[in-house]
């Protein structure tokens, strides 16, 4: 006969796996200025997901003058990556605070292989995985133009200085681009042309997402 405890655990296991299997976990990927944040705000509406931008989380910590914010600022101001331990801890906290969502759009995370592995482990622990990584491709000169323009309204000092922008692009090429390859190993990485208007790029992204969801 089944004990009360095993009946309970069976019940909760089943409800958890039913809910989690329906989740959509997208990584919006690409160099700074490729339109990740803009596209994420449209995608969350269409797919009813939670948008998590590590850049936004850092800026909020900086605004609140927390110790984490102060540490992050020293890296962000130079266009360098914030250390993995700090970034992963902050991301995990945000995910843990929001378990009852249909899925996540990770924007600006993961930016290194250790971050990607930490994300995979974290999702696996709750019976989930990354659904798809969408890598936006934009020409370097277009990135510089977009970010210098954005600086006029964003007030972001890392957008206002061309040297810092170029350093961020180098960091992307050296440390971050490999993350797309990590997900390509499991056939979960697609490249999307990020040049053109917002609607046009949105159409390309949703076409890829819908294609993947049909086959899930
Ligand atoms: P973003 O808003 O995504 O352009 O990020 C702004 C800055 O925050 C980056 O240039 C990095 O200094 C820092 N940052 C954001 N996300 C990460 C991450 N996943 N890993 C390390 N640093 C990050």
Dump pLDDT digits (tens) for 70-110: 999 999 999 999 999 999 999 999 999 998 999 999 999 99
Active site residues: 36, 111, 150, 156, 168
What does the pLDDT read at residue 19?
44
Ligand 1 atom with least separation from CA of 107: 3
Would you say the pTM of this structure is higher than 0.75? yes
Helix, strand, or coil here: 2?
coil
Helix or strand (DSSP H, E) at 123: helix 113-125
Query: pLDDT tens, 161-190?
Result: 999 999 999 999 999 999 999 999 999 999
* Of 36 and 11, the one with more pLDDT: 36
The answer to which of 7-21, 24-38, 59-73, 164-178 has the lowest mean pLDDT is 7-21
From ligand 1's centre to the CA of 111, what distance in Å? 8
Is any atom of ligand 1 closer than 6 Å to the C-beta of 29?
A: no
Helix or strand (DSSP H, E) at 106: strand 103-107
What is the DSSP code string of the chain?
A: ---HHHHHHHHHHHHHHHHHHT-EEEEEE-STTSSHHHHHHHHHHHHT-EEEEHHHHHHHHHHTT-HHHHHHHHHHTTTPPPPHHHHHHHHHHHHHH--SSSEEEEES---SHHHHHHHHHHHHHTT----EEEEEE--HHHHHHHHHHHHHHH--HHHH-HHHHHHHHHHIIIIITHHHHHHHTTT-EEEEE--S-HHHHHHHHHHHHHHHHHT-
Burial (CB < 10 A; 0-12, 13-18, 19+), residue 32, is buried
pLDDT at 2 over 70: no
From ligand 1's centre to the CA of 17, what distance in Å? 32
From ligand 1's centre to the CA of 212, what distance in Å? 27
Is any atom of ligand 1 closer than 6 Å to the C-beta of 165?
A: no
pLDDT at 146 over 70: yes
135: β partners: 29, 191
Is any atom of ligand 1 closer than 6 Å to the C-beta of 76?
A: yes
Cβ proximity of 76 and 61 under 8 Å: no
* Of 20 and 77, the one with more pLDDT: 77
Torsion sign (Cα): 89, 95, 99, 103: negative
Is any atom of ligand 1 closer than 6 Å to the C-beta of 105?
A: no
From ligand 1's centre to the CA of 209, what distance in Å? 24
Is any atom of ligand 1 closer than 6 Å to the C-beta of 109?
A: yes
Q: Calculate the CA 181 to chain-centre distance.
A: 15
Q: DSSP label at 102?
A: S
What does the pLDDT read at residue 28?
98
Please compute the mean of the pLDDT values over residues 117-137 and round it to a whole number. 96
What does the pLDDT read at residue 16?
44
What does the pLDDT read at residue 21?
57
Residue with the smallest CA separation from ligand 1 atom 6 is: 55
């Amino acid at each position: 006969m089944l004990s009360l405890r095993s009946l309970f655990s069976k019940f909760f296991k089943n409800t958890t796996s039913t809910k989690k299997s329906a989740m959509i976990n997208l990584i919006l990927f690409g160099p700074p200025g490729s339109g990740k944040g803009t596209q994420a705000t449209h995608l969350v509406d269409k797919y009813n997901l939670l948008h998590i931008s590590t850049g936004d989380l850092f800026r909020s910590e900086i605004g609140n003058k927390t110790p984490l914010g102060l540490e992050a600022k020293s890296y962000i101001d130079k266009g360098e990556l914030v250390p993995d331990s700090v970034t992963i801890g902050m991301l995990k906290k945000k995910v843990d605070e929001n378990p009852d969502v249909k899925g996540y759009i990770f924007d600006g995370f993961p930016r290194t292989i250790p971050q990607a592995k930490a994300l995979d482990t974290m999702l696996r622990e709750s019976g989930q995985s990354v659904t798809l990584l969408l890598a936006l491709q934009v020409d370097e000169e277009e990135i510089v133009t977009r970010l210098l323009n954005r600086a006029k309204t964003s007030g972001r000092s890392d957008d206002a200085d061309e040297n810092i922008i170029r350093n961020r692009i180098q960091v992307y090429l050296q440390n971050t681009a490999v993350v797309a390859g990590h997900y390509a190993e499991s056939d979960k990485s697609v490249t999307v042309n990020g040049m053109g208007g917002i609607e046009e790029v949105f159409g390309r992204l949703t076409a890829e997402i819908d294609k993947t969801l049909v086959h899930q």
